[in-house]
Amino acid sequence: MRLLSLLVAGLLAGCAGNARMGGPAGAVAGTVTYRERMALPPDAELRVQLFDMSRQDRATPVADTTVQPAGRQAPLPFVLRYDPNEIDPKHVYAVRATIGSESHPIFTTTALVKVITWDHPDRVDLVLTRATDARAADAAAPTPAPHLP
């Protein structure tokens, strides 16, 4: 019985969250990789963004994070934190990732990867493709979903 009480107390303490976070935080986690066999430059950055895809005229940014690989190579892990209060369960959300160096894209996502709502996962493995220039990254920018799933 005492063990059960300790387990419950530990569980409640773990669920209490971090008071500095300003409320409960949701997260999309996963990895980013690419098919090309090449090392990333030392100054490479991974940027992962979460978009609300429900508007017909544009995708609305909800959250983003930047990861410094610091010499690590793919697959690169990421955790994209967002405020759950910003998430509407009726909306569709998707992530996009770009690896860049000196403000130029090297790799980027080319497909929408839906997450969070409508039974979509909160853990994803993203495969990026080579960006030949800045226009390639712009072309991969999320566009609104034509309809809800």
Check pLDDT > 60 for residue 13.
Answer: no
**What pLDDT does residue 76 have?**
96
Bigger pLDDT: 103 vs 94 = 94
**What pLDDT does residue 107 have?**
96
Q: What is the pTM of this model?
A: 0.73
**What pLDDT does residue 149 have?**
54
Bigger pLDDT: 32 vs 149 = 32
Q: How far apart are CA 44 and CA 32, in angstroms?
A: 13
Check pLDDT > 80 for residue 71.
Answer: yes
Residues 89-104, buried b or exposed e (16+ Cβ, 10 A)?
eebbbbbbbbbbeeee
Q: How far apart are CA 129 and CA 144, in angstroms?
A: 21
DSSP one-letter code for 59: -
* pLDDT category of residue 56 using cuts at 50, 70 and 90: confident
